Copies of this chain bind each other. A is one copy, B any other.
Amino acid sequence: MLKKGNRVIGFITGNRFKFLEAEIVAKEYGFTLTLLSYPKLEIQATDLRKIVLFSLAELIGRLDNRPIVVEDSGLFIEALKGFPGPYSSYVYKSIGCKGILKLLKDVPPPRRATFRSCVAYHDGSGNILITEGICEGFISTDERGKGGFGFDPIFMPKGSGGRTFAEMSPNEKNRYSHRAKAFRELFSRLM
């Protein structure tokens, strides 16, 4: 059985923005996340579940009996056949938001896109839970806002009235976001 007594969970990530977003959700459910900055294996694959499970498998020997969680996410743009998908972080660092807007220059709105997040949790006793969160939306025609990270300035979630993730506070972003959904699913199943 999945251990349910754990209230303090280590989140292995090098991204402080991700940590802050997940921390807000954790508090909603009465959990405490601690930021662990261990190096993390990230394989190349198109299935986010596979990526997070490999990361977790690689950590499991080192962090042993401690409850830990890892997360991976990606932006899947319909007109680009899912690009950049699981390579979002690398693509962001190389061509950035401007590169995506260039690639979509001749694609008229609405430019449908989906943010996906996948979370893998190990309770420290051999039970692993994988949860997923999806946020549907559109790619904007220009960069807007200073909040969030990565492709947030060009992603408008459905129902936000055209506002991008980067124009929102972390709390507001969490109302829509793929990552908040995946973590909510996790914490609600750990209650």
Residues of A within 8 A of B (CB): 1-2, 45-47, 49-50, 53-54, 56-58, 60-61, 126-132, 189
Contacts and interface: CB of A to CB of B under 8 A. Distances in A.
Nearest to A54: B57
Given A2-B2, A127-B128, A128-B130, A56 B53 contact: yes
Contact of A49 (B1, B49, B126): B126
Copies in the complex: 2
Contacts of A46: 61
A2 B129 CA distance: 9
Contacts of A60: 47, 49-50, 53
A129 B126 contact: yes
The 8 closest A-B pairs by CB, nearest first: A126-B130, A128-B128, A53-B57, A47-B61, A50-B61, A54-B57, A57-B57, A50-B60
A189 B131 contact: no
Instruction: Pick the most buried of A54, A57, A130: most chain B CB atoms within 10 A of its CB.
Output: A57
Given A2-B2, A127-B127, 9 more contacts: A1-B2, A2-B127, A49-B60, A49-B61, A126-B129, A126-B131, A127-B130, A128-B129, A128-B130
